[in-house]
Structure 1
């Protein structure tokens, strides 16, 4: 039986990926602190990767600080790749973000550093870049009376559709840079947040925040949209909203 380890397997996308791996008929191994594995220092990694054919990395850190994000992604990626070499893992799949090479946001720079390590590593690899998930609106909305939301154009995609594509890639030969995945239509993120608040029966003050400089201009003008053909999800943001009412 094929065995696929999922780093970040308890997160939003990670849980969906684990379920998808099991539906595919493969064995899923969850890599997370709750499973006794600490990616930041490599604790428990070798044991977790024993017999693994592939690794899917969907780890995340909640921060906008470039230094903190870079330290996290570089440490976890190095530890993963080193353990994969020791255990003979043949395929490393990482989930990344569309447009991070065009927008100089701190978190995106950290993801670029992660991609570079994967490209330069000794394990055959696939990188899938995805646009923001529909759930991104909930992250921006928060729970308070005021939400400051960046002026940003996105093409949001259902997390389930991204998870399905990640699993498909992990059960296929290494592809290098895979075609980018995005949702079916473009949306303005502040509008998404307002629509989500209305669907939840809330009336917070949603402030559109135009970020300065080239970063803000890129976000407003579509630098985070896909620029080439690739898989496109079918579930719209409006359809996703129906499930949160």
Structure 2
């Protein structure tokens, strides 16, 4: 079974390629650096020839509201049209836990638009909603930085390792289409400000965390449960302290 991974050379895409290959599946990475551009459509018809499954784990290069909406709407329309022509039987997309709970957030609104296009396409599909990746924790802290302070809301937070995200997406990709979605998150739930207070200390980062109920998450104030999955979610096994210790050792 040929599976095309859109964004297959990125963080999650490269991990997904490894997962599929290790489990005996034919996987092809599709990204601008492999000659496939979903924004222009260049290379799509060629790479989708003979494909049974397409997994979209691509991401916008800009999180600016209009740019991210343009990216997900244009790339998804082009991708779905090419899949229809190629006879692809399963479209899998990676999305974010909480999209429907924070629609005023520009990135989340763009992911909602992407999902709606997929749901209306007529192509059997599966949506995987994942929580924030451990690998993006520093980026979240940087975005919340004000001078030497990192302003974080005291809301629930349940991040997960990129490897675990790839495993969940991979299992979904080789299964039957859900025509719906599943949620996945890390094994531990934290208060977000406490997580980053401990994380900055572990990073030996001189910034300090300020608990701020009005602090925004990429432009929008999150609710208590905006960023965590609901009951029945698929929980990963990798704990942040273990992941961090392993990754610090590898540096």
- TM-score, structure 1 length as denominator? 0.90
- 1:27, distance to aligned residue in structure 2 (A): 1.1
Q: Does 1:66 align with 2:69?
A: no
| 1:195 corresponds to | 198
Aligned Cα RMSD in Å?
Answer: 2.2
Contact 1:155 1:184 in 2 (8 A): yes
| 2:132 corresponds to | 132
Structure-2 separation of matches of 1:207 and 1:230: 30
CA 1:176–1:149: 2 relative to 1, 3 Å: farther
CA 1:4–1:196: 2 relative to 1, 3 Å: same
| 2:233 corresponds to | 230
SS in 2 for 1:123: coil
Contact 2:142 2:150 in 1 (8 A): no
- 1:101, distance to aligned residue in structure 2 (A): 0.3
Aligned length: 241
Where structure 2 has 5 or more consecutive residues not aligned to the other structure, the ranges are none
- 1:198, distance to aligned residue in structure 2 (A): 2.4
CA 1:70–1:147: 2 relative to 1, 3 Å: farther
Structure-2 separation of matches of 1:27 and 1:36: 19
Structure-2 separation of matches of 1:208 and 1:11: 33
Structure-2 separation of matches of 1:153 and 1:80: 35
- 1:220, distance to aligned residue in structure 2 (A): 4.3
**Higher mean displacement: 180-189 or 142-151:** 142-151
| 1:186 corresponds to | 189
Structure-2 separation of matches of 1:237 and 1:20: 21
SS in 2 for 1:243: helix
Name which of 153, 156, 161 aligns with 1:158.
161
Structure-2 separation of matches of 1:30 and 1:176: 24
- 1:40, distance to aligned residue in structure 2 (A): 0.6
**Higher mean displacement: 90-99 or 232-241:** 232-241
Where structure 1 has 5 or more consecutive residues not aligned to the other structure, the ranges are none
Written as runs of structure 1 = structure 2, the 5 A alignment for 1:8-19 is: 8-19=7-18
